Structure 1
Amino acid sequence: MGFPISVRADGDPGLSYTAADRAYAWLREVDARFSPFRPDSEVSRLDRRELAPHEVSADLAEVLELCERYRVASDGAFQVRLPGRGLDPCAVVKGWSVQRAADLLAAAGVPAFCVNAGGDVVASGAPWRVGVRHPEQADKLCVVLEVADGAVATSARYERGDHIIDGRTGRPATDLLSLTVVAPSLTEADATATAAFAMGTDGIEWAAAREGCEVFAVDTRHRVFRTPGLPAAA
């Protein structure tokens, strides 16, 4: 899916390797089915109208429903259909699919694990320390979080530039340097972080108001915002 994914699992090595193999097989399947960059993917076929909306798989229907939910909740700042571009649900697919991979590890009985997907993390079974990169200094962290059972996702400009578009204006979102969300699942954390970043500084309060979400953000004036319940490590 265009980013590295690693798994750290504790417990029986044989069980962990078998479960991780299943998780990676699922992620490869997701890449083949949902990538907008593969002409034969289900997403590309739907975008070309080779599939009718009622013909899509249950998984893609779930992803599209989530996309619509975040579009409505963000008043249109979060969009998977931007003018002049094809259907691109990656902002939801990443967190949703990696959370599903983590669920496979849990269902297999892996007692404690951490899945790192390009810096977005699902943690389970034990307190894991998750560093959030400084938005302007790649060799520094701006906060370290301690997460036992939950997920952390960050939207920022430092890796891919101004790639997050405010769907209300069609222009890049540039009010924030980075925004991190801690939530019960990576599905929620990742989509919320993306939508909030697209909303600009208003997105900080919006994300913080969502059930189960804690937020750490830095704006372009270098002001730091953090919610009271943020699980920062001592």
Structure 2
Amino acid sequence: MRRVEHVMGFPVSLRIDDEGDFDAAADAVFAWLREADARFSPFKADSEVSRLDRGELREDALSADLLEVLDLCEHYRAATGGAFDVRLPGRGLDPCAVVKGWSVQRAAELLSAAGARRFCLNAGGDVAAAGGPWRVGVRHPEHADKLCTVLELTDGAVATSARYERGDHIRDGRTGRPATGLLSLTVVAPTLTEADSVATAAFAMGTEGVEWAAGLDGCEVFAVDAERRVLRTAGLPVAGARAAA
């Protein structure tokens, strides 16, 4: 089965290659993603995140899900020496860099729990996949119609942070200035929670983030820096020249 819906401000596509009826599982996936957007978006005034940011909720009244998200945010803030920070001065609380991968990973787990063994869930270019091989193209940071490389996934996730869609939207929390040392950075990891968070955190660090991400257990990295140099780890799962997912 294949389904595409617009959630969280971007298209989310689901492909399941198993035999059987997975309509209910797909319904649950998109329902959960809509719920996550409603609860954790800083752009929705009635979300739990917005209410916390306005001081309307005490820390001891937060949901277990939001506490988990905030714990992840703090983990990456500490791990990057403050480069990754969801509470930048002059800005409201914005955990989107963690929420996207975390929520899509949970959606992938819903599929697995429903018996799906071969699927690809693509959320605005960040991918969680199982039962591959799946081929995932990494977009060229300066040419939308070209690929830098093609990765092959069996069970795992790929996420990219870049400047090409939203400009210099990722800031280095240590300086408050836009992170401009890299054009794009892609992380392959066992889960999309990790791949997405690490990609954003490493991008915020600039070129030093490539080495930091590469040193994390289970992570492989492909990056293009501001000088157009390609940086990659030796274990990057590179496939052929054509993307099929």
Q: Give the TM-score normalised by the residue count of structure 2.
A: 0.94
Q: For 2:121, what is the secondary structure of its paired residue?
A: strand
1:38 matched residue in structure 2: 44
Q: 1:24 aligns with which of 17, 30, 33?
A: 30
1:132-179 deviations in whole A, cap 9, x for unaligned?
Answer: 000111111000000000000000000110000000000000010100
Output the amino acid matched with 2:185. L
- Cα distance, 1:12 vs. partner? 2.8
Q: What is the alpha-carbon distance in structure 2 between the residues aligned to residue 130 and residue 80 of structure 1? A: 29
Distance 2:172 2:191 in 1: 24
Partner of 2:10, secondary structure, is coil
Q: Which runs of 5+ in 2 are unaligned?
A: 1-7, 241-245
- 2:16 paired with 1:6: no
* Aligned residue number for residue 55 of structure 2: 49
Secondary structure of the residue aligned to 2:66 is helix
Structure 2 CA distance for aligned equivalents of residues 111 and 83 of structure 1: 44
Equivalent position SS for 1:172: coil
- Please state if 1:104 is matched with 2:123: no
Deviations 1:54-96 (A, max 9, x none): 1100000000000000000000000000111111100000000
User: Pick from 146, 149, 157: which aligns with 1:143?
Assistant: 149
State the one-letter code of the partner of 1:170. Answer: G
The answer to whether structure 1 residue 233 and structure 2 residue 235 are counterparts is no
- Whether 2:76 is the aligned partner of 1:70: answer yes
Describe the SS at the equivalent of 2:144: coil
Identity of aligned residues (%): 75
What letter matches 1:166 in structure 2? Answer: D
* Partner Cα distance (1:79, 1:225) in 2: 24
Distance 1:173 1:228 in 2: 25
Aligned equivalent of 2:211: 205
Shift of 1:124: 0.3
3-state SS of 1:165 partner:
coil
Deviation at 1:13, TM superposition (A): 4.7
Over aligned residues, Cα RMSD in angstroms?
A: 0.7
Looking at structure 2, the residues matched to 195 and 61 of structure 1 have their Cα atoms a distance apart, in angstroms, of 19
Give, in whole Å, the separation in 1 of the partners of 2:96 and 2:155. Answer: 24
TM (normalized to structure 1)? 0.98
Q: Which runs of 4+ in 1 moved over 2 A?
A: none
**Count of aligned positions:** 233
Tell me how far apart the structure 1 counterparts of residues 67 and 114 of structure 2 sit (CA, whole Å): 26
The one of 58, 65, 70 equivalent to 1:59 is: 65
Distance 1:57 1:169 in 2: 31
Aligned to 1:167: 173
Q: 1:206 is aligned with what amino acid?
A: W
* Structure 1 position 220, deviation (Å): 1.1
Q: Following the alignment from structure 2 to structure 1, what is the Cα–Cα distance between the partners of residues 32 and 11?
A: 15
| 1:221 Cα deviation from its structure 2 partner | 0.8
Distance 1:204 1:17 in 2: 40
